[in-house]
Amino acid sequence: MILRVIPLTPHFGAEISGIDVNALSNEVFADVRAVFEESGILLFRDAPMNDDQQVVFSERFGPLETTVSVNPAVGTAFARQSNIDMASGEAMDADDQRIFYQKGNMLWHADSTFKKTPSLCSMLTAREVPPEGGATEFASTRALYDSLDAATKKQLEGCVVEHDFAYSRSLVGFHFNDVQKAENPPARHPLVQTNPVTGKKSLMIGAHAKTIIGWPEDEARTMLDDLLARATEPDRIHVHHWRTGDAIVWDNRATLHRATPFDVTKHRRLMQRTTIANPSALAEYGQYPDISAAN
């Protein structure tokens, strides 16, 4: 088995081929993991997985998150990005709340940055893809960090960002009820993240990033918006057009992604996401006090 690695862009991402994702030795997985740490996004084509196989492959990276109440796959290891109703197998109506909710994925974000225990990475597998639309776009906040001038890097060092799921969903007009709010309290993480393997720095930003602790509200907003805009300039992003059987693993510490539209009235799209937690992050940078306790 020869692991082949082809860069997706000059700055980030790699397509890995020549291996069977469902039968990886520890040795080959170590190589996959090393490419992940370096490149932030792994693409595997013609790598079909069923749910059980996806869980097994995902657990090689670390412990899995359990999905919270607002996703259709609540209580499982899966977040389902789909316009197909799980029970009936039919396409949902275009005005279904669950479709509306998924519009939040069309904002640039990293997954689970609003959780106290952040995520290492996510794995998304394409089970059914529409013939047009429904691509996923990716950007690198490590490439962004590298492109910043020394003064900005210095200004950002030590900054702590508050990430809030209720805030980011409100941006697309989805307002959490009290139960959803209580299930998703805001969390704080260092803006500048350092990869413990490569030592390379990246920024934890994206739609959930609400403010920078201790900064005036408007200055924090301007900085976060500016960083996001720079990271996602059209010539810096990678657009992935899905084929059934594709799997992508993205580093939630160092990359951003967003969904793009497709015609939900005409086509079916079923993507299964597993989310791998990063409990060691809290050991690396410590845990910030609970927002409720701090305020």
Question: Would you call 269 helix, strand, or coil by DSSP?
Answer: coil
Q: Where are the alpha helices (DSSP H) in the chain?
A: 26-39, 51-59, 97-102, 141-147, 150-156, 165-170, 178-183, 217-231, 280-285, 291-294
Choose between 111 and 162: whose C-beta lies nearer to Mn ion.
111
Residue 223 interacting entry, from ligand OGA, Mn ion, none, C-beta within 5 to 8 Å by type: none
Determine, following the binding rule CB under 5 A, whether residue 65 of this chain makes contact with Mn ion.
no
Count Cβ neighbours within 10 Å for each residue of 135-161 and write b for 16 or more, e otherwise.
bbbbbbbbbbbeebeeeeeeebeebbb
Interface pick for ligand OGA out of 8, 124, 224, 237 (rule CB under 6 A): 124
What x-and-dash track marks residues 129-148 binding ligand OGA by CB under 6 A?
-------x------------
Cα-to-chain-centroid distance, residue 26? 25
**Cβ(81)–Cβ(191) below 8 Å:** no
Q: Which of 39, 58, 122, 168 binds ligand OGA (CB under 6 A)?
A: 122
What is the distance between the alpha carbons of residues 120 and 117, in angstroms, rounded to a whole number? 9
> Residue 255's binding partner, choosing from Mn ion, ligand OGA, none, with beta-carbon cut-off 5 to 8 A by kind?
none
Q: Burial-class residue 3 by CB neighbours within 10 Å (0-12, 13-18, 19+).
A: middle
- Rule CB under 6 A: say whether 208 interacts with ligand OGA: no
81, interface contact from ligand OGA, Mn ion, none, CB < 5-8 Å by kind: ligand OGA
Q: How far is the CB of 71 from ligand OGA (least distance, A)?
A: 9
Residues in 102-121 that interact with Mn ion by CB under 5 A: 111
Q: Of 62 and 147, which CB lies nearer to Mn ion in the complex structure?
A: 62
Rg (CA), the chain: 18
- The residue sitting closest to ligand OGA, measured at its beta carbon, is 259
> Is-contact 46 233, C-beta < 8 A?
no
Q: Which is nearer to ligand OGA, 81 or 202 (CB)?
A: 81
The minimum distance between CB 243 and ligand OGA, in angstroms, equals 14
Q: Is 191 within 8 Å of 129 (Cβ atoms)?
A: no
Residue 242: name the closest of 270, 210, 275 by CA: 270
Site string for ligand OGA, 67-86 (x = CB under 6 A): ------------x-x-----
Q: Contact between 111 and ligand OGA (CB under 6 A)?
A: yes
Which residues contact ligand OGA (rule: CB under 6 A)? Answer: 79, 81, 105, 111, 122, 124, 136, 257, 259, 271, 273
